[in-house]
Structure 1
Amino acid sequence: MRPAPLLLALLLAWAVLGGMVLGGLLPRWSWALAGALIAVLALVDLWRQRRRPSPSVERDVPEALALGVRREIGLRLHSEQNMHVHVFDLVPGGWPLESLPQRVPLRAGHVSSLHYHVQPQQRGRFAFEGVQLRIRSPWRLWWQQRTLPPALEVRVYPNFVPLTRFALFSADQASRLVGAHVKRRRGEGTDFHQMREYRIGDSLRQLDWKATARARKLISREYQDEKNQQLLLMLDSGRRMLASEGGLSHFDHALNASLVVAYLALRQGDAAGLFAVGGERRWVAPQRGMGTVQHLLRASYDLQPQAVATDYLAAATEVSLRQRRRALVMLVSNVRDEDIEDLLAAVRLLQRRHLVCVASLRERELDAALEGEVHTVEDAAQAGAAALYLQQRAQAHDALRAERVMVLDVTADALPAALVERYLAVKREGLL
């Protein structure tokens, strides 16, 4: 309970009255009477405020919050008495807020609504602890702070907003939205799709001579990319993915990119799965159907990178035991030269059954260090260290390529397009 401005003004007036009494302008009893009157008013108003019922509060929160996406939240307040309140919702995690706190006049028997915006800054499970109200007393002499229910637990998922946008487009169009450059196919797909009339440009191998004889016109077979193939995304959740760019960790960038390529694979009729290695392990077996996106989101929304070394060989062994059918395995990590022996052993094990692609995230600051101008000895040392690091990194990538592993050396912002391009290239070239 805190004094309101009106009570502070009354106390100031009482102090001025005391000065006048000391100056002999007023009798002493007037100062005592004024003090007693102010005290009675304050105590009665305090008593009334403590007996005053709290408003009821309801919170409207979207069913799913996405990392970094600004969303609107609503509050509805119902009071049995007229009152003025200042409202502040106890959002979790220090997330950025807009339009809070708000001053709301409540009318007896009516519902007052307010809205504000919040932008989640982390994935995982969080709680709204309640709604904090500052309520002015009936005679406006006091402010009382109350924390009211409902407390509410919410889940913040990876940024799935791009996936909802892709749903409006075909798989090829969505691939271009990501930034992937879809190359034209050489030859045909491997799965028969349909018979159709011959078109200029069709190869002679497409002609179906029996159908041509029956129809008395040229008939071609049309093929499509093979469906029901397997895609497994292996995400490194160890210490290599703790670096941050653009307000997100490398792991968050990798997770968002993996969801994009998984979504497009499901749109193509393939099965997509996820395996997080390094820190806490999560396994989602490859499944078909667009409902798989929900399984991937629920399995990964609270997954965080941890400061532990990733055992690539143990992860590859687990994949070999769990994933018996041949699949395109896309490992997203940050390859360092000191990890290369363990990583080479892991990819050799995976290649016994699977097609392996390693996407190695590169810090954008390394490129900036090489491209920046050198003015001081410190600048030269920094550029030299970056060049040496990138050289060792390139050697590790070359060692992987020597084992016939597809390697993508990309920055975090280019990762979604790179993964989609590689997946589509594997599909179109029939490598699986």
Structure 2
Amino acid sequence: MMIPQRRLLSWIAVLCALALLWALSNLLPRAVGDLLALLTGSGVVLLALAAAIDALRLWRLPAPSGSRQLPPAFTAGVAAPVTLQLASAGLSRRTQVVDHPPSDDPHTGLPQWVTPADAAITELTYHYRPQRRGEACFGALELWLTSPWGLWLRRHRVAAPAQVAVYPDVRWLSQEALFQASLQRQLSGSHRRQHQGDGQEFHQLRDYQAGDALRQIDWSATARRHALVSREFREDTNRHLVLLVDGSQRLAAGVGERTAFDHALDAALLLATQALNQGDRPGLLLVNGSEPLWVPPLHSRAQLHQLLGQLYRVQPSRFSADYSEAASTLLRRWRRQAVVILITRLQPDDLDDLLHATRLLRGRTRLLIGDVVLPDEAVIQDADVETADQALALAGLARYQQEREQLYARLRHAGVFVVSAPPASLTRRLNHLYLSLRRSGRL
């Protein structure tokens, strides 16, 4: 496609003005009218000839080619360079370059004008900053070639579709490491409860002692020694930690530029990292409809990229939360003992469903719940009451919080540990609870 440039339009405007004056030449001397007619006619011929020649020269330029160099992955909220490599032979003396990155960054600095380099390849670099994790989809390159005399622009599209993963920004993990070191020092003076004799990991054989359960007796060793021998167990030092993340519409609410679901994933990543540091084995179950995402327990920090690779594109679905179904799914996926940390946004009417889920998991898991409290609730609570609508909203919030506290009390009575916090602080508070319970031997 070709479009006229401003220079061509300016000459057309000049000829139109001359033609208008020629049309009014009956008001002017005859000599002036003849001169205007000559200028107008010759100008039209010359401009048409120049425009045709310039268009032909532009059309005969070799088709431009190019490619896009992208990083292996982007990080949400972090600008990264994108380099365009264009064949210099296919560029005009001035070429406007338009790329089509995702529309969530309006500050890429595009389009840009470039002149062909002396080398075979002309490079142009801009920076793209994705706002959300997921997939960054790039479209075609669009080049606008200027004709030699600057009368025309010709558009040429270079097909260069690409998709690049956008991972969540996990740089905060290094900042949390300093906090966790401080937390470990705070907890170092607390009493660490030891578990012996009733754990899940075999420790040693010993002589039978009064009070030992019948199941502890090793009958083979007893037959060899002709005396009762008992098996001693200890607490399994490598606990399995399952992060049960609610992927329903409850966590789709926006919190600034992110969602509550993004903060839930942050909490899951930090807990997984901390669990590996403690020698535990974290896995993850994301329940977001008919196809739950299951990542089996990891054995080393080197496998964290596997967890990131599974989570970076996941978004909350539109289904309603069903904790009983989530518990059943977990029991089908994992049949061993585990500590389960549920990250969700509780509602007062969840009590029956949660108690049923707790009964399903009883005996095989220890349940912790991290409840996401939206910041808007705190804003309403701290706001001044000036109108009847504000008073009604505050009364409704107070009633809602009272019912939620009753829900917490019933859950704690059923043996569930519950922590509630706004999204920005939930990650730290939930991790503090996990470390405290682990240190005290209550997990």
> Do the structures match in fold with TM over 0.5?
yes
The normalised TM-score by structure 2 is 0.82
The normalised TM-score by structure 1 is 0.84
Match of 1:161 in 2: 171
Match of 1:55 in 2: 64
Aligned equivalents of 1:67 and 1:262: distance in 2?
Answer: 20
Shift of residue 186 of structure 1? 2.3
Q: Which of 76, 80, 101 is matched with 1:71 structurally?
A: 80
Distance 1:189 1:149, change over 3 A: farther
Deviations 1:302-345 (A, max 9, x none): 21111211221111012122222222211000000122211111
| 1:77-96 map, 5 Å | 77-80=86-89, 81-96=91-106
State which drifts further: 399-408 or 106-115. 106-115
Aligned equivalents of 1:346 and 1:398: distance in 2?
Answer: 16
Count of residues paired in the alignment: 394
Match of 2:320 in 1: 309
Aligned equivalents of 1:263 and 1:333: distance in 2?
Answer: 20
Distance 1:35 1:337, change over 3 A: same
Deviations 1:239-284 (A, max 9, x none): 1111110211111110122112211222232211111113341000
Match of 1:207 in 2: none
Q: Secondary structure at the match of 1:286?
A: coil
Are residues 1:282 and 2:283 paired?
no
Match of 2:220 in 1: none
Match of 2:265 in 1: 255
Match of 1:208 in 2: none
Q: Which of 337, 348, 354 is matched with 2:348 structurally?
A: 337
Match of 1:219 in 2: none
Distance 1:93 1:310, change over 3 A: farther
Q: Secondary structure at the match of 2:316?
A: coil
Match of 1:234 in 2: 244
Deviations 1:96-138 (A, max 9, x none): 4332222211235443333222222333234201222222122
CA-based RMSD = 2.5
| 1:181-330 map, 5 Å | 182-188=186-192, 227-279=237-289, 280-330=291-341
Match of 1:402 in 2: 413
Structure 1 vs Structure 2: percent identity of aligned residues? Answer: 31
State which drifts further: 290-299 or 110-119. 110-119
Aligned equivalents of 1:181 and 1:72: distance in 2?
Answer: 41
Distance 1:322 1:40, change over 3 A: same
Distance 1:136 1:350, change over 3 A: same
The answer to whether the Cα contact below 8 Å between 2:97 and 2:113 also exists between their aligned partners in 1 is yes
Distance 1:188 1:378, change over 3 A: closer
Q: Secondary structure at the match of 1:234?
A: strand
Aligned equivalents of 1:368 and 1:139: distance in 2?
Answer: 63
Match of 1:46 in 2: 55
State which drifts further: 239-248 or 131-140. 131-140
Q: Structure 1: which 4+ aligned runs deviate by more than 6 Å?
A: none
Aligned equivalents of 1:271 and 1:111: distance in 2?
Answer: 50
Match of 2:228 in 1: none
Q: Secondary structure at the match of 2:155?
A: strand
What are the ranges of 5 or more consecutive residues in structure 1 without an aligned counterpart? 192-224
State which drifts further: 150-159 or 411-420. 150-159
Task: Return the index of the structure with the highest Cα Rg.
Answer: 2
What are the ranges of 5 or more consecutive residues in structure 2 without an aligned counterpart? 26-31, 196-234
